[in-house]
Each structure stands twice: as C-alpha cells, then as structure tokens.
Amino acid sequence: MSSIAAVVLAAGAGTRMKSAKPKVMHEVGGRPMISHLLGTVGELDPKKIVVVTSPNMETVQKEVAPAEIAVQKEALGTGHAVVAALDNLKGFEGDVLILYGDTPLIEAETLRQMIEKRRASESCAVVVLGFEPDDPLEYGRLVTDASGNLTAIVEFADANAEERAVGLCNSGVMAINGAHLADLIRAVDNKNAKGEYYLTDIVEIAIKNGLTCAYVKGEEEELLGVNNRSQLAEAEGIAQTRWRAAAKAEGATLIDPETVWFSHDTKLGRDVVIEPGVFFGPGVTVGDNVRIKAYSHLEGTTIGDAAQIGPFARLRPGADIASEVKIGNFVEVKKSQIETGAKVSHLSYIGDARIGAEANIGAGTITSYYEGYDKFKTDIGAGAFIGSNTALVAPVKVGDGAIIGAGSTVSKDVAADALGIERAEEKQKPGWAKRFRDVKKKAKK
C-alpha cells in the first residue's frame, strides 16, 4: 500500500442540512464525518492527504490538520475540485484516491481492494468503486464490456433504457494512477447542461487515450453519502450497529443492544455488562468486569475493573473511577478521582474532588466548588464517611477515617479520624403548626 495519496472533496456547503455548519463537520458517533474518513484513510499510511474546501471553511481546515488544504474558489463540479488539488500533488506519481468528506462509513479494506485492482494492470488508469443497491434510483450507472472492463459512467439522465437496467451504480470514489491524473483531469470539459466539470468524464477520456479502466464493488451501506439530516441519522444507525457488533465480539454483554449508543472511540474491557439505555459520549474507557446499569450517561471518563455504575448515573469529563467503585443512582461525577472501593451510592454530586479509597459518600452529598469565578478542590481521605445531605464547601479537606454528621455544611478542614458536624440548634414552637392552619382556613372563608 506504499505511495498512496488521497484527495478528499469537502467543499460542499450542505444546503440540504439546513445548517450554518459545513456538511462534513456534522457528527457520527461524536466525531465529524470527515474525521471518520480521514481515520480510515490513515490505515493505508498515505504519503499525502489533500482536503479540498471552499473559501472560509476554517473549521474544516482546522479539523483535518495536518492534512494539506486546497481551496476550490468556485463550485464548478467534482472535476474542477480535483483540479484545485493538482498543485499539492505535483511530482507525485503513486496512486491517488478520490474520496468524499460526507461518506464516513467507507472501510479501509475496500480502499485496499481498489488500489490492488489499479496496480494489477499497468494500463489501468482508473478504478471506480461501484455498488449494487436494492433500488438503483437515479444513480449513475457503470457500463462494462464482456471482459468486465469499465467502459463508461453514464449519468441517469443521459442513460438509455438498456443502461438504466444496469444494477451496478457509481459511488464517485476512484483510485487513479497519479502519473496520468493531471492529464486526465485537465482534459475534462464543461460542455453539459449544468456547465460543470464532471470527474466521471475521465473514464471515457482514459479509454480514448488507450488506457483501461476497472471497478471494484463495495457494500451499499458503506457508501452512503450524507446530504441531509435523514441520511445523517441513517449513517449514525449503521455506525452504531457496527460498534455494537464489535463490542459483543470482543466479550461485552449488551442486554438490549439497540438501546445502547456508543461513541467512535468507546473502549470496553472483557466481561463488561451494559444494561438498556446506556449512552457513551466521546472519550470513555471501561475496564474488565464492569457493570453499567440502565440509563446511565458517560463521557470523557475512565472506569476501573469491577466497578458498578448506575442506574441513572452521569459521569462527565474528567471522572476517573478506580476499580471496585460503586457509583449509584442519580449520582453525577465531574473532574474527580474516585479511588478504589469508594462508594457514592445515591443522589449526590461530586465535582473537582478526590474521594479516597473505601470512603462512603451518603445520599444527597454535594461538593460546592465554584463561587462564580474560581473553582476549588474537595479532598476526602481514605475510609472517610460523609453523612447524608452534606455540603462540602471547597477548598476543604476531610482526613482519612473522619466522619461527617448528616446534614452538615463543612467549610473547614476536618482532621483524620475526627467527627465533623455543623448543625443549627433545633428549635420547636409548640402548637404553632395548628395555629398556622387555623389562620389559613379562616382566611379562605
């Protein structure tokens, strides 16, 4: 797979997405579509990647770095977009893949097959990636001869009845011999109804120049191009199906797979059990023998072996959960280290904190770390016990083995093995409640 370059066409504004964001920046599994594609291309170890954008697409250019950028100043067709990349490819004579930033699902093995097909014959200038959809609709058709060589790409509008009956359709993806690329592309003209330069014309041009063309078949789902929100949702569904299958194949149990949603980079250990309704945002790594209970939401977090999470837990970025930790129902953890064997079992918020090994955090506990301008840390020692309904006002430290009485607001450090308790004196006014009710009832008459 040596001597490969890739040209990724990403200049489309995505009008049908109804969005101010460039089309290729819309996400599948928490990652922009174009980054999925570049990740796949990266598996081929290309010598060069050139991304073609429109002017003022800084967000795309930043996302694809360190790929080279070529700017297509006018939207004059796919052939014109490739012309914009020719200066970046000057002197390169390996194989050039032409790809599209809105096709995030294409697989590396398919691209390898295209390169191998192109290299199988010295005369082969172009390999086109085709597919056979259940309904060909108005896709362009790949026309072949008796030997299986590709002879033409015919747009549906220009096809006759015989050509429209062909089930082999054009995906637009190509592998081109770089030694011929510039000559083929520059020979494309715009003598058509739209006045655009079509990349597909290079097949006919190559054959007229005594070269040959071929095709490789891919799967329909991997060639899905995303042009609107419905297709974006379809791409997400395909990706999720792949990731669920991979998770099960690697030793995770998904009790109700269709309700579990992964991110592109979710990492699961073995013998992980995932209950229904769990959502993984980007940046989650899960150790072995972990159980993630129903309807939990995780992102930017690491979970150690044999931990239990949820149900209805939320782990936010920076949550570092050690082995054998229990994070219970309606607990939220953000930017905190929860050390081995600690328990935060019910209805608590832990932010910007360290919870020591084997510490127990009672229901309704919160760490209050932000006063509107700065954030401060709460440090709870190993084996400490925090009573229910406690507010820990950072910066504050609770020593190893200390106990905090329920209902306390703790704003001063508590020494190791000490009891910390802060409660206002309880007062009672006999008969007050009855008098209050009587006044209210009388007022209603």
Annotated catalytic residue: which of 36, 80, 180, 346?
346
Could you tell me the end-to-end alpha-carbon distance of the chain, in angstroms, rounded to an integer? 90
Alpha carbons 361 and 348: distance in angstroms, whole number:
8
Q: Is 180 a catalytic residue?
A: no
In the chain, the amino acid numbered 387 is G
Q: Are 128 and 36 in contact (CB under 8 A)?
A: no
Which residues are known to be catalytic? 346
